[in-house]
Amino acid sequence: MEFVNEGIIKLDKELNELDKFVLDFCRILEKHTKYMIVSGYVIILFGRSRGTEDVDVFIKEMKKQDFNKLFEELEDKGYECINTSKRDAFEELNEDIPLRFAKKNQFVPNIEIKLAKRPLDIHFLEKPLRVILSEGELRISFIEPQIAFKEVCLGSKKDIEDAYYLRKVFEGKINKEKIDYYKREFSK
């Protein structure tokens, strides 16, 4: 793991099937909108030895016609929305109902897309942490807000363990004052 600068981490990991799935999906997504991966997959990307059924992704608000182009390209490239129809997808996304996309005829893993609406999510979406991998680049949330969100807002045993893992694996690389700041912000 190489910290190229404050906003870029280079990972020389051997990619697994989940990494390849996420890279493939995000290559399509980034052509249409800004995105940022959050939560469980971020922890797995940095080595936590656990699985996940879904990958949480925030995207920027889009116009309907732009969203439809994204939807069509995803369909063309072998993905399908597994929890709603193309007709209803845009409205549901804007009503804060996440859309789940998986490879056709499969259910897991899937990508869960939500609109970034909270000020902090919008802020990080504009300037995400970039992770350089051997087969491409992923844009993820910075580590400090990830830890704060898991500890304050989620708080399940799995989330507490994820936050603990991030604290340990990034020891000396993360700003603990920032974590406390984000914890206060998420508590409001």
Partner 1 sequence: MYFDKEKNNRERLKFIEMWAEYVRTHSDKEWSKQQNILINSLIKNGLRKS
Q: By the criterion CB under 8 A, which residues form the site for partner 1?
A: 1, 11-18, 21, 44, 46-51, 53, 105-109, 157, 161, 164-165, 168-169, 171
Nearer to partner 1, 85 or 105 (CB): 105
Residues recorded for the chain = 188
> Cβ–Cβ contacts within 10 Å for residue 181, how many?
14
Write down the least CB distance from residue 65 to partner 1, Å. 32
Nearer to partner 1, 11 or 120 (CB): 11
Nearer to partner 1, 15 or 154 (CB): 15
Nearer to partner 1, 34 or 48 (CB): 48
Question: 9, 129 in Cβ contact below 8 A?
Answer: yes
Distance CA(64)–CA(87), nearest Å, equals 11
Among positive and negative, which fits the CA dihedral 142, 55, 47, 49? positive
Write down the least CB distance from residue 83 to partner 1, Å. 14
Question: 114, 98 in Cβ contact below 8 A?
Answer: yes
